[in-house]
Chains A and B, each alone.
Chain A
Amino acid sequence: NAGVTQTPKFQVLKTGQSMTLQCAQDMNHEYMSWYRQDPGMGLRLIHYSVGAGITDQGEVPNGYNVSRSTTEDFPLRLLSAAPSQTSVYFCASSFIRGGSTDTQYFGPGTRLTVL
């Protein structure tokens, strides 16, 4: 099992550019999510999905879009990059058990800088 994979590992964008951060998991997890991590701010939920075709907003969704066409993939799209989106982005996945999310498996992260 590869677990949770994320690409790219590093990315530099100019303000206004768009891009897609890729996330894939091979554990057949129903739940997938995207977090951003800024210094001293912990992990903040951007978007999440409880299954293919279902997505929902987290705490900080503005400026980001997601889709979940398959169980395995959950790409995060930045529509028009802004310097405030400079951050480390983590994708995570888990099973859903008893109505709650189970152990979260995190990808290695994408370090994004917007100039």
Chain B
Amino acid sequence: GQQVMQIPQYQHVQEGEDFTTYCNSSTTLSNIQWYKQRPGGHPVFLIQLVKSGEVKKQKRLTFQFGEAKKNSSLHITATQTTDVGTYFCSFSGSARQLTFGSGTQLTVLP
């Protein structure tokens, strides 16, 4: 079935540095969603992208959907310790199954 490759698997940054995670698909996606999971918590919805080339911002977070709708990225500017967690992308495939990427685990060092 459809899958997305999410990279990197782990990222350690110093507080104040930027961070980016990428999701890549071999097939065109109808939409993509991003979730954040804090350590010991459950995934929480961040945003959904639907349109080709779409860019959305939430404070220090910038989300992009590629022109071909095959890739997406999440960029965090000037990371803070509150950004710690695992970031997942997901998409709705055939038969309405929601498939998740393997996630990028972000550690922010103070």
Interface stretch of the complex, out of B30-38, B54-62, B66-74, B76-84: B30-38
On whether the beta carbons of B44 and A45 are closer than 8 Å, the reply is: no
A interface: dominant SS: strand
The residues in A between 15 and 44 inclusive whose CB is less than 8 angstroms from any CB of B are 31, 33, 35, 40-44
Q: Please count how many residues in chain B sit with their CB below 8 Å of the partner chain's CB atoms.
A: 25
Residues of chain A contacted by B41 (CB below 8 angstroms): 108
Q: Which of B42, B88, B95, B97 contacts A42 (CB 8 A)?
A: B88
On whether the beta carbons of B43 and A100 are closer than 8 Å, the reply is: no
Task: Name the interface size band of chain A.
Answer: 20 to 34
Complex CA distance for A58 and B94, rounded to whole angstroms = 11
* B95 and chain A: residue at smallest CB distance: A56
Give the total number of A-B pairs whose CB atoms are below 8 A apart.
62
Complex CA distance for A70 and B41, rounded to whole angstroms = 27
On whether the beta carbons of A99 and B35 are closer than 8 Å, the reply is: no
- A74 contacts the other chain (Cβ, under 8 Å)? no
On whether the beta carbons of B96 and A99 are closer than 8 Å, the reply is: yes
Q: Which of A45, A103, A107, A109 contacts B97 (CB 8 A)?
A: A45
Residues of chain A contacted by B102 (CB below 8 angstroms): 40-42
On whether the beta carbons of B45 and A104 are closer than 8 Å, the reply is: yes
Residues of chain B contacted by A42 (CB below 8 angstroms): 6, 88, 100-103
Complex CA distance for A77 and B70, rounded to whole angstroms = 36
Complex CA distance for A101 and B99, rounded to whole angstroms = 11
Complex CA distance for A28 and B9, rounded to whole angstroms = 35
The residues in A between 58 and 112 inclusive whose CB is less than 8 angstroms from any CB of B are 58-59, 90, 92, 96, 99-109
On whether the beta carbons of A50 and B35 are closer than 8 Å, the reply is: no
A105-B96 contact given A40-B9, A42-B88, A43-B88, CB 8 Å threshold: no
> What are some 5 contacts across the A-B interface (CB < 8 A)?
A33-B98, A42-B100, A43-B103, A50-B96, A104-B90
A-B CB proximity, top 7 nearest? A42-B102, A100-B92, A106-B42, A43-B100, A103-B45, A101-B92, A42-B103
